[in-house]
Amino acid sequence: MKLLLDTHIWIWTILRPEKISPRVRRQLENPNSEVYLSPISIWEAHQIHRRGRMRVGQSFPEWVERALSQTPVLEAPFNFMVAAEASRIELPQNDIGDSFLAATASVLGLTLVTGDAQLLQCSWLKTLAND
């Protein structure tokens, strides 16, 4: 399975692994799974950190470097097609980060791993619920 981690799922895999459901954990640990992360998630994590809602115990760039080495992921490119698709997506929560992640999953044919109820309700988006 080709999986794209929602930002909170990526953060939880590193800082709060107990929040990852057994079903999602199995897919993430499956050697046949390809696990992707969008650069948008790093940007979103920085915004969360900047607002004081995430403590990492070191500089944010050092944390990102450690996180990427600790939990290897493939880079999901943020390209022209993703940006164009994001401009067509209308989500109930009007969250630009979610729009970019949904567009990334859609364009690249990835399954978005998320616990976000609003994203899970998008019938056009392939998702794996963290429940």
Domain boundaries, the chain: 2-129
Q: Is the pLDDT of residue 72 over 90?
A: no
Which pLDDT score, from 0 to 100, does residue 76 have? 98
Contacts of 24 (CB under 8 A, 6+ apart): 9, 113, 128, 129, 130
pLDDT digits (tens, 9 = 90+) for 9-47: 999 999 999 999 999 999 999 999 999 999 999 999 999
**Is a pLDDT exceeding 90 seen at residue 71?**
no
Backbone phi, then psi, for 6, in 5-degree steps?
-65, 155
| 94, 54 contact by CB (below 8 A) | no
Cα separation, 33 vs 16, in Å, equals 21
Q: Mean pLDDT over residues 112-117, rounded?
A: 96
Looking at the DSSP bridge assignments, the partners of residue 5 are 113
CATH number listed for the domain at residues 2-129: 3.40.50.1010
- Choose between 72 and 5: higher pLDDT: 5
d(CA 100, CA 6): 10
Q: By percentage, how much of the chain surpasses pLDDT 70?
A: 100
